[in-house]
Amino acid sequence: MLPPLKKGLPNLEYMAQILINRAKDDPNLMIVTSDSRGSGRVTGFSEQFPQQLIEVGIAEQNSVGISAGLASCGKKVFTISPGSFLSARSFEQVKNDVAYSNNPVALLGISSGVSYGGLGATHHSIHDIAALMAVPNLDLCIPADNFETETVLESYLQYPRPMYIRFGKKTMPLFYSSANEVTFGKAGILHQGSDILIIACGEALQPAYEGAAALEAEGISAGLISLHSLRPFDKTTILDMAASAKAVITLEEHSIYGGLGSIVASLLMERRLFRPIKILAFPNEDLVTGSQTDLFDHYGISASGITAAAAELLR
């Protein structure tokens, strides 16, 4: 049985606490925002360390270029901007100024996926992983809870490098007891199972957990993996657990193309590990309008979507 989960903080709030604590002893820690102090939860940081935060306004391309320049001078830079704009409007700067030039900037894509809900397609970032996976020399991370967030941030602070970190907005439960249970770049095994393997990342991990619990209640043995990092990607754990399962389900807050599901399916095919697989993600169409919860439910990124997919795969 999967145990009930404790409530955590919104990951952005937890991120802000970590950066405030580190900035007290590190004047080289900088934040660059594009009209995102409030939504990025760093208003408190700007009040305590006004000389360590630069606000550029609604100018995402400039924010990345400025961040790259600061990083080239030895600063530890966190660029905070909505994921929809950071990964699209600033794509050239991310590719050339940060990744290609090897400037160690941590790019924080906030309010990612469909977090903006009713604001619609202009503000959704269900393309970001697909686009940025094609950029070499850029770690891609999607922490699900506070402890995965802490692990990802500490990894960057200990070894600054080009990195994209994707955050949503909602309050997430805690899937671990402490950050000591999370190893950067390694899949988090939350439950072992022999019938279905469920793989999820980011805020899609909560419905994945609920789906695994629902399957267990039906007598279906469900394994559950959290992937906070898509680059580096823990191939070994995925292959080992997929080999022990009869079928695989992936869950993500992203397009069905180019994200977690595509990466997992490609890996299994390349290694000739043939398992029925279902990718639960957003289809290649204009999405309906609604909240994140509305969209998750409508497109089957949910516990009921998992149980339906499992029934089909195991038929």
CATH class of 185-313: alpha beta
* pLDDT tens digits, one per residue of 138-190: 999 999 999 999 999 999 999 999 999 999 999 999 999 999 999 999 999 99
CB 196 within 8 A of CB 247: yes
Q: Which two tokens stand for residue 61?
A: 């391309």
Q: Which pTM value belongs to this model? A: 0.96
- Which pLDDT score is estimated for 3? 87
Beta strand 171-174 pairing with 277-282: unpaired
CB 262 within 8 A of CB 279: yes
- Stretch(es) of the chain classified as CATH 3.40.50.970: 8-174
Please give the CATH architecture assigned to the domain spanning 8-174.
Answer: 3-Layer(aba) Sandwich (3.40)
CB 281 within 8 A of CB 301: yes
Residues 6+ positions from 277 with CB-CB distance below 8 Å? 247, 248, 249, 250, 261, 264, 265, 268, 313
pLDDT means over runs of 10, the chain (315 residues): 90 96 96 93 95 96 98 97 96 98 98 92 95 98 98 97 96 96 97 97 98 96 98 98 98 98 98 97 94 96 97 95
- Which pLDDT score is estimated for 1? 77
- Stretch(es) of the chain classified as CATH 3.40.50.920: 185-313
